[in-house]
């Protein structure tokens, strides 16, 4: 399956998620930046609120691609003690890396929300959306962090991901919705005609538009 762009991917996903439409206990969370345009279409189709869910991987010293934990929106931190002990990472290094990533997460929170508080996910059904998943390491870290905020149910919805990644994720969420699980998977962008980079300004605009539309519907 190929997608024209993230907008089309979001509309196709929304059809698969129609059972969550018009419910006051559902929130859609887009993973910035690329997941937000997909999440926006789902939010609009289902008529439920939209927010961002920021996750910052805590990369091991000298092996930044290897996650030893993650921090997420809401002040949540999870640590992979097994990885930390295997690599001999010191508490000082952990705190230093956490502090650096926390600053970047807070910068993005401020940039994207413009002062609006994050939506409360406690006892809500949360649909976490990205434009695709490759290894799934960041998403798994995000799910663990999200669990600590005690939502009633976590649904992960993505247009495309490898079958092996989906197999791992399915065990960690209440529902996984993935439109395509191709055997030959090199990069998410190979399944989009237009996979141009999403800017901070686009994310801000979509969140602002969603908030304005929600306020108008309540008026």
Which residue spans of the chain are classified as CATH 3.40.50.2020? 6-54+114-218
Which residue in this structure is represented by tokens 């997460």? 105
Architecture of domain 56-112 in CATH? 2-Layer Sandwich (3.30)
Whether the CB-CB separation of 80 and 59 falls below 8 Å is answered with no
Q: Among the listed ranges 18-22, 113-117, 177-181, 187-191, which one has the minimum average pLDDT value?
A: 113-117
Determine the Cα–Cα distance for residues 212 and 203; give it in Å rounded to an integer: 14
Write the pLDDT tens digit of every residue in 128-149: 999 999 888 778 878 888 888 8
Which residue spans of the chain are classified as CATH 3.30.1310? 56-112
Is the overall model pTM greater than 0.85, yes or no?
yes
Q: Give the DSSP H/E element, type plus range, for residue 166.
A: helix 163-170
Would you tell me which CATH number, out of the four given (2.60.220.10, 3.40.50.2020, 3.90.1300.10, 3.40.50.720), belongs to the domain 6-54+114-218?
3.40.50.2020
Write the pLDDT tens digit of every residue in 24-47: 999 999 999 999 999 999 999 999
The residue among 219 and 5 whose pLDDT is bigger is 5
Whether the CB-CB separation of 42 and 49 falls below 8 Å is answered with no
Determine the Cα–Cα distance for residues 166 and 71; give it in Å rounded to an integer: 22
């Amino acid at each position: 399956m190929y997608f024209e762009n993230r907008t089309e991917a979001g509309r196709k996903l929304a059809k698969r998620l129609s059972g969550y439409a018009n419910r006051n206990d559902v929130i859609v969370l887009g993973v910035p930046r690329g997941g937000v345009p997909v999440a926006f279409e789902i939010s609009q189709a289902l008529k439920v609120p939209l927010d961002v869910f920021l996750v910052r991987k805590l990369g091991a010293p000298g092996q930044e691609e290897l996650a030893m934990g993650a921090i997420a929106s809401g002040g949540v931190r999870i640590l992979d003690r097994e990885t930390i002990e295997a690599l001999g990472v010191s508490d000082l290094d952990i705190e230093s890396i956490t502090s650096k990533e926390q600053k970047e997460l807070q910068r993005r929170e401020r940039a994207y929300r413009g002062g609006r508080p994050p939506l409360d996910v406690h006892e809500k059904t949360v649909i976490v959306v990205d434009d695709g998943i490759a290894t799934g390491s960041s998403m798994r870290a995000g799910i663990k962090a999200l669990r600590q905020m005690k939502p009633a149910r976590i649904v992960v919805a993505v247009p495309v991901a490898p079958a092996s990644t989906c197999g791992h994720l399915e065990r960690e969420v209440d529902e996984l919705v993935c439109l395509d699980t191709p055997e030959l998977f090199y990069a998410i962008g190979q399944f989009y005609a237009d996979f141009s980079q999403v800017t901070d300004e686009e994310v801000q605009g979509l969140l602002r538009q969603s908030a304005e539309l929600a306020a108008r519907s309540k008026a």
